[in-house]
Structure 1
Amino acid sequence: MSQEMIFEHPLNERIRTFLRLEHLFEKVDYFVAQSAHWSTRAALDGLLDIVTITARADIKTELLKEIDRNLSTLARVRHQPGVDQSALKEVVDGLEQAAASIHDIPGQIGSKARDDDFLKAIAQRNSIPGGACSFDVPLYHHFLTQPIEQRRARMAGWTDEIQPVSEAIRLVLSLARTSATPRQLIAPEGFFQEALDLQVPAQLIRVGIGLEWAVYPEISGHKNRFSLRFMEASTAGRPVQSSEDVPFKLTCCVF
């Protein structure tokens, strides 16, 4: 079986925010594990982006609503034939633990990092291109020269509070991604569109394309329908829609 690239597109604002936060949490986790001071900078940039998103939206309420919606859905399928009760219990227990952990976060998510004077100074300078270099924020430069163990300990002090958010988002998105079986389809001359079932609202769509195809999908959609245009990647000039029939896998994640 050939390898494939996966492209995702959210179909509502809640999932859009969760996908962005998942991306940023993965960025922070990746760079925290590295020892170079440039990696620490990248991890802090990701953390500051998380703080910005959580300041603009009530992520705690949105996560709890999504977990509650998932638990209600699972309760409806509990007694259907063929349901693996042990697997279902494991998922339900995970969701309930995630909800409890979110409830235990005091105040608004990210408030500890948001109120930290050191991070405030970096965030203010980051709004200027190159503004957080050594002569602009000497305290930051001093921090970056400390041993990696000290930098990681300081980072943990900022991220431990929001770790339950990362775990809850990972669980919610994992349930959505595995809620349907991929379909093998063809996009005639690089175009495909489909109406969505309003009785079973989709959360996001996933598009898989074989690595042998030098195309990528431009996806647009909302709760009623979506469309895909497979564009030919090019190093020069503007991308153009493929004129070939493009095979791909489509998953409409409805959970």
Structure 2
Amino acid sequence: MTNKITYEFPLNERIRVFIRLEQLFEQFNHFLNGASVWDKRAALNVLLDIMTIFSRNDLKSELLKELDRNGKALNRIAHSQGVDAEKLNQLLGEVSQTSKKLYASSGKIGIHVLESDLFQSIAQRSSIPGGTCSFDLPEFHYWLEQEEPIRLRDLQQWSSPFNDIRNAIDLILNLIRNSSDETREIAKAGFFQISLDRSQPYQLIKVSLDKSLRYFAEISGGKHRCTVRFMVPSHDEKRPLQSSDDVSFTLSCCQF
């Protein structure tokens, strides 16, 4: 386990949505692998959140644009000195294969999930606090009491249309996060400002500090300038305060 805690700050809406989905997919997998009724309830709630994001965004188009941009960026550095040609070709192959899978998918992603009467019922009642009790949805109660292989099969079937999307998001975010080396910085009296080159397509700021330090990083700003404030957590009802100490941390300005 790392002894550092990392705070990320996306610099555009596309990357915000990708990171939110990444977190939801990780949550879904966590609850999918749990065997209790509460795990399966939680997995379904996360799947509903995933579908809500998909209903509001043209994610397939956004992912294809980003993969195309990534492919072009990788090709530009193909002949640069010191580039690992084998690793580069592997990345280009992953980008190309992921794009092909997305292009091959037809129709609105995840729409078939709503063809399940059970899932539709759960989705309709989930907006009501406690609305999926056994007396509200006896069919859902019956499903929750089935053997684990049956519940697991259904959840895997409902989530399968999102697998290619998840793989694409993982690939894109991995390329972005590894596109910049860390630099050691000092936040004077808990404050640090970052000026970004407007000609570079920066997408993500990463701030890392030792877990033993009693601060958390609060990042704000936009694609041209960001500020980092190291705040001392509050242990009462007062708001957290900016540290008066100089704080050592590592910074990555990721673009790709």
Q: TM-score, normalised by structure 2?
A: 0.96
Aligned pair count reads: 255
Once the two structures are superposed, the pairs formed by residues 161-180 of structure 1 within 5 Å of their partners are 161-180=161-180
Task: Name the structure 2 match of 1:56.
Answer: 56
Task: Name the structure 1 match of 2:153.
Answer: 153
1:246 aligns with 2:247: yes
The superposition leaves residues 35-70 of structure 1 with CA deviations (integer Å, 9 ceiling, x where unpaired) of 011111111111111111011000000000000000
Partner-residue secondary structure (3-state), 1:15: helix
Once the two structures are superposed, the pairs formed by residues 111-126 of structure 1 within 5 Å of their partners are 111-126=111-126
Q: C-alpha separation between the residues in 2 aligned to 1:214 and 1:136?
A: 46
Q: C-alpha separation between the residues in 2 aligned to 1:156 and 1:104?
A: 20
Q: Which moved more, 1:88-97 or 1:113-122?
A: 113-122
1:30 aligns with 2:30: yes
Q: Give me the CA root mean square deviation.
A: 1.3
The superposition leaves residues 144-180 of structure 1 with CA deviations (integer Å, 9 ceiling, x where unpaired) of 1111110010011111111011111001000000000
Q: C-alpha separation between the residues in 1 aligned to 2:217 and 2:203?
A: 18
Deviation at 1:106, TM superposition (A): 1.9
The superposition leaves residues 185-218 of structure 1 with CA deviations (integer Å, 9 ceiling, x where unpaired) of 1111111111111111211111101111121111
Task: Name the structure 1 match of 2:105.
Answer: 105
Q: TM-score, normalised by structure 1?
A: 0.97
Q: C-alpha separation between the residues in 2 aligned to 1:251 and 1:90?
A: 24
Partner-residue secondary structure (3-state), 2:220: strand
Task: Name the structure 2 match of 1:222.
Answer: 222
1:198 aligns with 2:198: yes
Q: C-alpha separation between the residues in 1 aligned to 2:219 and 2:120?
A: 36
1:71 aligns with 2:68: no
Q: Which moved more, 1:206-215 or 1:171-180?
A: 206-215
Task: Name the structure 1 match of 2:213.
Answer: 213
Identity in percent: 44
Q: C-alpha separation between the residues in 2 aligned to 1:7 and 1:117?
A: 41
Q: Contact 1:55 / 1:110 at 8 angstroms: preserved in 2? A: no
Gaps of 5+ in 1: none
Deviation at 1:246, TM superposition (A): 1.0
1:3 aligns with 2:3: yes
1:143 aligns with 2:132: no
- Would you identify which runs of 4 or more consecutive aligned residues in structure 1 move more than 6 Å? none
Q: 1:125 to 1:72 in 2, by over 3 A?
A: same
Q: C-alpha separation between the residues in 1 aligned to 2:106 and 2:229?
A: 45
Partner-residue secondary structure (3-state), 2:184: strand
Partner-residue secondary structure (3-state), 1:146: coil
Q: Which moved more, 1:22-31 or 1:102-111?
A: 102-111
1:132 aligns with 2:132: yes
The residue type equivalent to 1:42 in the other structure is A
